[in-house]
Structure 1
Amino acid sequence: MTAASAGTHNLGLRYSNGPNPFAGTKTVSLYVNGTKVKQVSLASTGNWDTWATHTEAVPLNAGNNTVVYKYDSGDSGNVNLDKLTVTSGSRVVLFDGTNLNAWEARSGGAATWPVSGGSMESLGGDIRTRQKFGDFRLHVEWYEPVYPPEVTGQARGNSGVFLQERYEVQVLESFGKPAAINEAGSVYNKRAPSTNAATASGTWQTYDITFRAARFDSAGNKTANARVTVVWNGVTVHNDVEIDGGTGDNLPEDASPQSIRLQDHGDAGANPRFRNIWIEPLA
């Protein structure tokens, strides 16, 4: 089986399970890339001419994978297997705290942000996902270190989450400040958050972002602006708002799916960190 990206995928097995040598649920074992994943239970299809599809969520590597259903000790067997299909799982893990396999440098080549303690540090230039996305739900957790008072304004842990490399949701140490178009939670220089939901430095924060890409007609004319909902630390700070164009340092708007980009602002001193990043593509 070939998977476009690493992560959980839906594996569909078309099978029939008739009444011989007994009627009822039967079992086989599922192996992925040489490792037994589980014993799979296949419900009766009533007769041998009726087919059903059993779907299992399994981890696959990007590229080629070996998937085997076989009769193991403890399995009942006695089913007919027809074909396998694979589709992307509802959730794609972009960063699980261990490696940057899903990312690349914005300038090309491997992403080099330091990874330690289950998180990555914003250091070494912007990085972006290798996979590209249209509409999606995105979960990002981010952390601001404690800065001395002489570090002020946009130098206090500046980073950003770029949706399709076009629209930035600002990351910044903004605890206790008025909501603004260049503070944390903003659609940068476009829309201030409805409230400042920041927690204090030294704590982990979350963005849960639902994004609908801009729409274009067959001639390439934009027919609808991008829209976004941002839930920041459990508080909805943008509710299905329009974004009327790129927010700066962005790819041009068009109909193409594009990457998620994380910004390294390049400021001196301690840097923001990110962990537990996943995305759910939307149809």
Structure 2
Amino acid sequence: MSVLRFAPLAICLSMGLYVSAQEVEPTKPEQTEFYEPVPPKVRPGNNGSAPSDAIVLFDGSNLDNWISSRDSTAANWTLNKDGSMTVNNRTGDIQTKQNFGSMQLHIEWKSPAEVQGKGQSRANSGIFISGLYEVQVLDNNDNYTYVNGQVGSIYKQHTPLAMASVPTGQWNTFDIIYHAPIFEKGQKVKSGTLTVIQNGVLIQDHVEIKGTTPYIGWPKNPVHGKGPLKLQDHGDNSRVSYRNIWVREL
């Protein structure tokens, strides 16, 4: 006889324990109710602003949370009066001083209103999760390119479910859920996943991260723990701007 037979059903459910079909069917509502653990209270933000438990990485006031990916010196991107920052062409990528594992990321970006270039050379940047896995930033309005490299793609791995960008020059929102891969004894034993919502539209639905996202070659799976959030300077006068960046650690 299972020892769980004598445990209240609600306790079993709260512990995620399997209850077999042979158990007696509950006859009272309280038998399937549980009251612990109590979820923590979080005060939500307004219009994309950070909730009470978030780590604010950029609020427009300074670049203190960011460094150059090239040499760890102070980030040298342009701080704008409207509370945004813009890629400073050919100064290199920037990344957070803090490292993150699984997380919820909110970030807003826009391409310049003045259209320059085409294909991958039009307002190209990227958001690298753990410094390794790129969610593509690109102006794809009337701008054709390979679909696993278009805006919202997991670069060279997953084509977005939709192209949900606002008009060129307006602010886009990415809300990204990242679950980090798991490594044991130098090998990946569980892939990470990414979910991306662009402007309220689901464009990546809990997709498997196959590995790194290189421009040339297959994905690689280096062993890693927590890593920085990195923003790309694509080096072709992309002029992409970012604002309102915050993270909730999961």
Q: Same fold (TM over 0.5)?
A: yes
Change (3 A) 1:198 1:158: same
What residue in structure 1 maps to residue 68 of structure 2?
A: 105
Q: 2:192 aligns with which of 226, 237, 241?
A: 226
TM-score, scaled to structure 1: 0.64
Following superposition of structure 1 onto structure 2, how do residues 1-283 of structure 1 map, counting pairs within 5 Å?
A: 90-107=53-70, 108-116=72-80, 117-123=82-88, 124-148=91-115, 151-176=117-142, 180-217=147-184, 219-248=185-214, 253-268=222-237, 271-282=239-250
CA offset digits 1:103-161 (Å, max 9, x no partner): 1100121111110120001112100000001100000000111244x621111100000
Q: Tell me how far apart the structure 1 counterparts of residues 213 and 151 of structure 2 sit (CA, whole Å).
A: 14
- What secondary structure sits across from 1:181 in the alignment? helix
Q: How many residues align?
A: 194
Paired AA for residue 281 in structure 1: E
TM-fit CA distance, 1:56: 11
**Higher Rg of the two aligned structures:** 1
RMSD in angstroms over aligned alpha carbons? Answer: 2.2
Higher mean C-alpha deviation, range 159-168 or range 251-260: 251-260
TM-score, scaled to structure 2: 0.73
Q: Tell me how far apart the structure 2 counterparts of residues 170 and 281 of structure 1 sit (CA, whole Å).
A: 22
Q: Residue 211 of structure 2 contacts residue 220 of structure 2 at CA under 8 Å; is this kept in 1?
A: no
The one of the two structures with greater contact order (alpha-carbon pairs below 8 A, sep at least 6) is 2
Q: Residue 138 of structure 1 contacts residue 210 of structure 1 at CA under 8 Å; is this kept in 2?
A: yes
TM-fit CA distance, 1:242: 0.2
Q: Report percent identity of matched pairs.
A: 38
Paired AA for residue 113 in structure 1: W
Structure 2 residue runs without a partner (length 5+):
1-40, 44-51
Q: Tell me how far apart the structure 1 counterparts of residues 174 and 206 of structure 2 sit (CA, whole Å).
A: 15
Structure 1 residue runs without a partner (length 5+):
1-54, 58-88
TM-fit CA distance, 1:231: 0.3
